[in-house]
Amino acid sequence: MASPPTATLAERLMIYLTTPIYYPNDRPHIGTAYTTLVADAVARYWRLVGEEVYSVTGTDEHGLKIAREAEEQGMAPQEWVDHIVERFHETWALLDMSFDDFIRTTEDRHRATVQAMFQKWHQAGDTYLGRYEGWYCVRCEAYYTESELIDGNCPWHGTPVEIHAEENWFFRLSKYAQPLLDHIAANPEFVVPETRRNEVIGFIEQGLDDISISRATLKWGIPLPWDEAQVAYVWFDALINYVSAAGYSDDPDRFTRQWPAWAHLVGKDIIRFHAIFWPAMLMSAGLPLPRQVAVHGHLLVGGEKLSKSNATQILPQELVETVGTDGYRHHFLRDVSFGPDSNFSWEGMVDRYNADLANDLGNLANRVLHLAEMFRDGKVPARADHGRPEEQALAAAAAEAAGSLRHYEQFKTKQAIDGVWGLFAAANGFVEATEPWHLDSRDPDRLDEVLNAALEALRVGAVLVSPSMPGAARRLWDKLGLPGRPDDGPLAETATFGVFPESTVSKGDPLFPRIEG
Ligand code: ME8
């Protein structure tokens, strides 16, 4: 069987980027917020470049876990998820997330798509009735074989598993083992990073068993179109959100332009669902596969100031109170390398804020704006001398910093921001070297040129931090008295180091007040 093609970037019309849809069983924590944040920064990068973007997050609302939690709360499942989903909207707003869509699996557009996909597998002969008997972890909503359990417990949660036995519909996953291996071999970028790709290959090579895709004993789910007594297994419901949100059942024109996805961003815990089940489900339905499944590691907790031992216990709100939304975003995007596990520490976050934001960027902005106000009443002439070595070095640093944003295309947020910080280091060096505070009496024309170049570095800097710190970028833009917004783009024009235009700049409050203690 030939594996379907993966569209290349040049062929595609839209950058369609997804996060997992989260279980609305609690408020979002710093782990779920991490995936969402990386997706948001990358989506903002593509918009800045000038690409058409559709970025989606959402909630995974069916299944046994949610049904049981609702029961514990004494609520109907729908009432419970409606309540919790608000916490997600609040947190994403607090963190300045800019999604184009938020999909809930209880929506009609999703229900229709799930039923259509199940019907396709059924028609393709990929479903059959069988008896499932084995181990189930409700927290993962996943089946495990005896050998996968650790001391008889769930390998992820370490908690007891349940024995489940019932008559279910099965999906012929085994049939897709070879096509999946062929697809991964032909598309080395299908799963990144490489260590995760090898993990997926190893898993498939052990052999794939057919999998139960329906539940007879659960009511909280989407009924199968040909057997209404059974509801869809929650993972075979949830994964379909990616085509539902692309308009499969309610906007076929958009679906044609949007599918296949440019990338699904996921944590390492759900790799086999995304890199094995999902492509097999798409192959069976005759749909093309996403270009990429990009897998990141987990946030762990270190440091001493936190009493919590697990990242899932820390809420973004607690951190935003200290470092603000932009400080939060900057820390996770610059300090967490995409791929390996990473330790979160309170001290690391505050140190990062003071070093990068209060010092490097905040002081630079304060200083330059202060000088512009003091010597030129905030009105710096559009006067420049780009022939000078100091200005040339600054322009080169700006070009290099702008080029580093390309790392966002590989989710390498740290490298992208490291590059941007090269511009702030160069701009601080430029101010030190040119000593504008001595120039007004000695060489006023040179003062105009120096202030103009330093303001231009701040302008380009505001453009370049707009994917990672959209709020701070806008505040800096306003201080610079510029029209429009720093993220108006296209990047190729707005990040080009030129002559700072006539405008009235104002220092105002510090961009990033220092955090003491
Ligand atoms: O798995 N560090 O939902 P979920 C980093 N509903 N990321 C973390 C993390 C941590 N400590 N903990 C969680 C589900 N995440 C399913 C998904 S998709 C069709 C269905 C992030 O609420 C990471 O992205 O348990 C992980 O994959 C996801 O949250 C799991 O979220």
pLDDT of residue 507 exceeding 80, the answer is yes
Q: Is the CB of 21 under 6 A from ligand 1?
A: yes
Tell how far the Cα of 412 is from the centroid of ligand 1, in angstroms: 19
| CATH for 484 | 1.10.730.10
Strand 142-144 relative to strand 214-215, pairing: unpaired
Nearest CA to ligand 1 atom 16: 22
pTM for the model: 0.95
Q: Is residue 230 part of a domain?
A: yes
Do 287 and 329 share a domain, yes or no? no
Q: Is the CB of 221 under 6 A from ligand 1?
A: no
Tell how far the Cα of 185 is from the centroid of ligand 1, in angstroms: 27
Q: Is the CB of 233 under 6 A from ligand 1?
A: no
Do 326 and 239 share a domain, yes or no? no
Kindly give the number of the ligand 1 atom that is closest to the alpha carbon of 297: 5
163-167 average pLDDT score: 91
Write phi, then psi, for 81 (nearest 5 degrees): -70, -35
Position 10 confidence tier, pLDDT thresholds 50, 70, 90: very low
Do 168 and 223 share a domain, yes or no? yes
Q: Is residue 167 part of a domain?
A: yes
Distance (Å) of CA 113 to CA 78, 221, 428: 19, 14, 54
Tell how far the Cα of 23 is from the centroid of ligand 1, in angstroms: 8
pLDDT of residue 142 exceeding 70, the answer is yes
Cα–Cα dist 184/99, whole Å: 29
Q: Is residue 203 part of a domain?
A: yes
pLDDT of residue 84 exceeding 50, the answer is yes
Do 341 and 242 share a domain, yes or no? no
Kindly give the number of the ligand 1 atom that is closest to the alpha carbon of 25: 22
Q: Is the CB of 240 under 6 A from ligand 1?
A: no
pLDDT of residue 7 exceeding 50, the answer is no
Q: Is residue 2 part of a domain?
A: no
Do 355 and 224 share a domain, yes or no? no
- Between 20-34, 390-404, 456-470, the lowest mean confidence (pLDDT) is in 20-34
Q: Is residue 176 part of a domain?
A: yes
Do 277 and 340 share a domain, yes or no? no
Nearest CA to ligand 1 atom 3: 22
Q: Would you state the pLDDT for residue 113?
A: 98
- Domain containing 422 equals 321-494
Q: Would you state the pLDDT for residue 4?
A: 44
For the chain, percent helix, then strand, then coil, each to nearest 5? 50, 15, 30
Do 292 and 227 share a domain, yes or no? yes
Do 205 and 240 share a domain, yes or no? yes
Do 278 and 341 share a domain, yes or no? no
Kindly give the number of the ligand 1 atom that is closest to the alpha carbon of 311: 11
Decide: 278 and 138 in contact? Cβ < 8 Å: no
Q: Is the CB of 27 under 6 A from ligand 1?
A: no
Nearest CA to ligand 1 atom 9: 31
Q: Is the CB of 332 under 6 A from ligand 1?
A: no
Kindly give the number of the ligand 1 atom that is closest to the alpha carbon of 59: 6
Domain count across the chain: 2
Mean pLDDT (the chain) is 95
Residues 324-377 have pLDDT tens digits of: 999 999 999 999 999 999 999 999 999 999 999 999 999 999 999 999 999 999
Q: Would you state the pLDDT for residue 463?
A: 98
Nearest CA to ligand 1 atom 27: 267
Residues 179-193 have pLDDT tens digits of: 999 999 999 999 999
Do 378 and 441 share a domain, yes or no? yes
Burial of 368 from C-beta contacts in 10 A (0-12 / 13-18 / 19+): buried
Burial of 268 from C-beta contacts in 10 A (0-12 / 13-18 / 19+): middle
Tell how far the Cα of 280 is from the centroid of ligand 1, in angstroms: 21
Q: Is the CB of 238 under 6 A from ligand 1?
A: yes
Q: Is residue 24 part of a domain?
A: yes
Q: Is the CB of 23 under 6 A from ligand 1?
A: yes
CA angle 68, 71, 75 (to 5 degrees): 135
Q: Is the CB of 299 under 6 A from ligand 1?
A: yes
Q: Is the CB of 60 under 6 A from ligand 1?
A: yes
DSSP for 292-307?
Answer: -EEEE--EEE-SSS--
Tell the residue number behind the tokens 């939304």, with chain if given.
Answer: 325
- The fraction of the chain above a pLDDT of 90, given in percent, is 91
Q: Would you state the pLDDT for residue 332?
A: 98
Nearest CA to ligand 1 atom 29: 32
Q: Is residue 505 part of a domain?
A: no
Q: Would you state the pLDDT for residue 13?
A: 78
Q: Would you state the pLDDT for residue 312?
A: 86
Q: Is residue 109 part of a domain?
A: yes
| CATH for 255 | 3.40.50.620
Residues 247-278 have pLDDT tens digits of: 999 999 999 999 999 999 999 999 999 999 99
Do 369 and 453 share a domain, yes or no? yes
Do 267 and 348 share a domain, yes or no? no
DSSP state of 438: G
